Structure 1
Amino acid sequence: MFTATVHFTQHRNCILRRLTAGVDAPIPIEIEEIQNGVVTFVLRSGEHTDGFQSELEAAEHVEHVTRLDEENLLVTKPSCGAYSAIYRNHGTLRRSNTVSGRQREYTVLVFRREDLRNIIEDLGTFGTVTLGKLEEFTPGVEPPLTERQHEVAAQALARGYYDWPRGITNEKLAEKLGISRATLHEHLRKAERTVLSSALAESHRQVGEGRFERIDV
Structure 2
Amino acid sequence: MPNLNISSETADTLFNAFNIALIVGAIIVAVATMGAIWTGKIRDHYSDLRISNNEMETARAGSDAAHANQAAAVANKAAAEASLHAAQVEKQNIELREKFANRRITAKQHAELVAILTKHPNSFNMEAMGDPESGMYAADILKTFTDAGWVVDKKEFPLGVIWTGLILYQTDDPAAIEMAKALHDAGIPFSIGDQRKDKATIMVGGKPPVF
Give the TM interval when normalised to the shorter protein: under 0.3
**More helix by percentage:** 2
The structure with more radius of gyration = 2
What TM-score do you get using the length of structure 2 for normalisation? 0.21
- Higher share of residues assigned strand: 1
